[in-house]
Amino acid sequence: MNTLARAVVVVGAGAWLAASPARAQDPLPSWNPGAARDAILKFVADTTQSGAPGFVPPAERIAVFDNDGCLWSEQPMYFQLAFALDRVKALAPSRPEWKDQEPFKSLLAGDLKGVLAQGEKGLAPILMAAHSGVTTDEFEATVTQWITTAKHPKTGRLYTEMIYQPMLEVLAHLRANGFKTFIVSGGGVEFMRPWAEKAYGIPPEQVVGSSGVVTFEMRPSGPVLIKEPKVEFVDDGPGKPVGINRFIGRRPVLAFGNSDGDHQMLQWTAAGAGRRFMGLVHHTDADREWAYDRQSHIGKLDKALDEATAKGWTVVDMKKDWKRIHPFDK
Residues that bind a copy of itself (CB under 8 A): 4, 7-8, 10-12, 59, 62, 136, 180, 189-190, 193, 197, 203-207, 211, 214-216, 218, 222-223, 225, 238-239, 241-242, 245-250, 264, 267-268, 271
Q: Is 112 exposed, middle or buried (0-12, 13-18, 19+ CB in 10 A)?
A: middle
CB of 144 to a copy of itself, least distance (A): 14
Beta strand 180-188 pairing with 62-65: parallel
DSSP run (H or E) holding 124 = helix 120-131
CB of 205 to a copy of itself, least distance (A): 5
Question: Is the distance from CB of 122 to CB of 116 less than 8 angstroms?
Answer: yes
CB of 127 to a copy of itself, least distance (A): 18
CB of 139 to a copy of itself, least distance (A): 11
Fill in the amino acid letter for 11: V
Cβ neighbors of 274 (< 8 A, separation 6 or more) are: 54, 56, 253
Question: Is the distance from CB of 27 to CB of 176 less than 8 angstroms?
Answer: yes
CA angle centred on 111, ends 288 and 108, rounded to 5°: 115
Q: Which is nearer to a copy of itself, 2 or 94 (CB)?
A: 2
Q: Which is nearer to a copy of itself, 62 or 81 (CB)?
A: 62
CB of 259 to a copy of itself, least distance (A): 17
Cα gap 285→3, rounded to integer Å: 54
Q: Which is nearer to a copy of itself, 55 or 247 (CB)?
A: 247
Cα gap 70→306, rounded to integer Å: 18
Q: Which is nearer to a copy of itself, 205 or 329 (CB)?
A: 205
Q: Which is nearer to a copy of itself, 250 or 324 (CB)?
A: 250
Question: Is the distance from CB of 66 to CB of 209 less than 8 angstroms?
Answer: no
Q: Which is nearer to a copy of itself, 240 or 283 (CB)?
A: 240
**DSSP code at position 149:** T
Q: Which is nearer to a copy of itself, 245 or 309 (CB)?
A: 245
CA angle centred on 252, ends 178 and 299, rounded to 5°: 115
CB of 216 to a copy of itself, least distance (A): 4
Q: Which is nearer to a copy of itself, 115 or 266 (CB)?
A: 266
DSSP run (H or E) holding 223 = strand 222-233
DSSP codes joined into one string, 224-267: EEEEEEEEEE--STTHHHHHIIIII-S--SEEEE-SGGGHHHHH
CB of 175 to a copy of itself, least distance (A): 14
Residue from 226, 215, 231, 225 nearest 128 by CA: 231
CB of 180 to a copy of itself, least distance (A): 7
Question: Is the distance from CB of 64 to CB of 252 less than 8 angstroms?
Answer: yes
Q: Which is nearer to a copy of itself, 77 or 214 (CB)?
A: 214
CB of 284 to a copy of itself, least distance (A): 28
